[in-house]
């Protein structure tokens, strides 16, 4: 994907805000035709209005029917960014099975089902980019987030397995593991917790959604065609 090559279609989940929205902007700036997907139609419409040539579709990543319907509407996809995620934190001892299931079904199973929807078209075209947004905690673990961590670690395993399965068709599969990124999800944390985290970041700042989007833009490009099965850490040095 670049300004001179063929126009690629990019599908970004969780694209109505935060990292997903930043990814949509970055891919559009690189010449892709971007489709924004999330649950909130009003937010999607507003977000899409600010990205020339983009479109949007509602999508519930916890529902196989919703995923199938969304991809049927948009047609072939060249670049898939699996970014949508939810959290339902709690200590493992008291974690309800419903909270475990909700997080795994959206963050991991939903990502897998979305990949299944785009694979046939990518294999036919012999070109594709699948980029899974994992997390630093998928590599380090984090107390009180057994479900979220398991889902994000699972995405890394899924990335490596798929990369081996479909490399012969010129489809790359990579993961990005963001560290502490300044988004709505992290804004709810206490100042004390934020300061504690900052002390463990060598670059001494929190990341921005645009930092992750730049990595997505690169992995989606022609220049990244020899990179597959990789986990790109975007964390300011917080985990090495």
The predicted pLDDT at position 216 comes to 98
pLDDT band per the 50, 70, 90 thresholds, residue 105 = very high
Q: Which of 148, 154, 219, 221 is catalytic?
A: 148
Question: How many Cβ atoms sit within 10 Å of the Cβ of residue 188?
Answer: 7
Annotation marks residue 226 as catalytic: no
Query: What residues pair up with 232 in beta bridges, in sequence order?
Result: 176
- Encoded tokens for 237: 């040095």
The predicted pLDDT at position 109 comes to 98
Alpha-carbon gap, residue 65 to 220, rounded angstroms: 27
pLDDT of 5 higher than 90 = no
Q: Please check whether residue 4 lies inside any domain of the structure.
A: no
The predicted pLDDT at position 2 comes to 54
Q: Please check whether residue 77 lies inside any domain of the structure.
A: yes
pLDDT tens digits, one per residue of 60-92: 999 999 999 999 999 999 999 999 999 999 999
What is the C-alpha radius of gyration for the chain, rounded to an integer number of angstroms?
Answer: 17
The predicted pLDDT at position 190 comes to 86
What pTM was estimated for this model as a whole?
Answer: 0.96
Q: Is 147 helix (H, G, I), strand (E, B) or coil?
A: helix
- Encoded tokens for 49: 């209005």
Q: Please check whether residue 239 lies inside any domain of the structure.
A: no
Q: Please check whether residue 59 lies inside any domain of the structure.
A: yes
pLDDT of 3 higher than 70 = no
List the CATH number of the domain containing 90.
3.40.50.720
Handedness of CA 221, 224, 229, 231 (dihedral sign): negative
Q: Please check whether residue 173 lies inside any domain of the structure.
A: yes
Q: How many residues does the chain have?
A: 240
Span 223-227, average pLDDT: 98
Contact predicate 192/145, CB 8 Å = no
Range of the structural domain that residue 204 is part of: 9-232
Q: Please check whether residue 61 lies inside any domain of the structure.
A: yes
pLDDT tens digits, one per residue of 20-76: 999 999 999 999 999 999 999 999 999 999 999 999 999 999 999 999 999 999 999
Domain count within the chain: 1
Q: Please check whether residue 204 lies inside any domain of the structure.
A: yes
Q: Which range, of 3-12, 23-32, 75-84, 140-149, averages the lowest pLDDT?
A: 3-12
Q: Please check whether residue 238 lies inside any domain of the structure.
A: no
Alpha-carbon gap, residue 151 to 1, rounded angstroms: 29
pLDDT tens digits, one per residue of 172-207: 999 999 999 998 878 888 899 889 999 999 999 999
């Amino acid at each position: 994907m670049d300004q001179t090559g063929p126009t690629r279609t990019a599908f970004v989940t969780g694209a109505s805000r935060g990292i997903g929205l930043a990814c949509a902007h970055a891919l559009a700036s690189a010449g892709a035709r971007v489709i924004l997907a999330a649950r909130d139609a009003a937010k999607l419409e507003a977000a899409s209005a600010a990205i020339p040539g983009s479109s949007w579709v509602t999508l519930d990543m916890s529902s196989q029917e919703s995923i199938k319907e969304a991809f049927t509407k948009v047609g072939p996809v060249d670049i898939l960014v699996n970014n949508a995620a939810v959290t339902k934190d709690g200590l493992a001892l008291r974690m309800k099975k419903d909270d475990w299931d909700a997080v795994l079904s959206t963050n991991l199973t939903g990502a897998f089902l979305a990949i299944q929807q785009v694979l046939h078209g990518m294999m036919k075209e012999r070109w594709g980019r699948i980029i899974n947004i994992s997390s630093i905690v998928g590599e380090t673990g984090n107390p009180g987030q057994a479900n979220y961590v398991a889902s994000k670690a699972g995405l890394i395993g899924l990335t490596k397995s798929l990369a081996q399965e479909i490399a012969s068709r010129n489809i790359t599969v990579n993961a990005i593991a963001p560290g502490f990124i300044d988004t709505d999800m992290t804004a709810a944390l206490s100042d004390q917790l934020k300061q504690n985290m900052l002390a463990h970041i060598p670059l001494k700042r929190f990341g921005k959604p645009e930092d992750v989007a730049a990595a997505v833009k690169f992995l989606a490009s022609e220049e990244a065609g020899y990179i597959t099965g990789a986990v790109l850490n975007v964390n300011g040095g917080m985990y090495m």
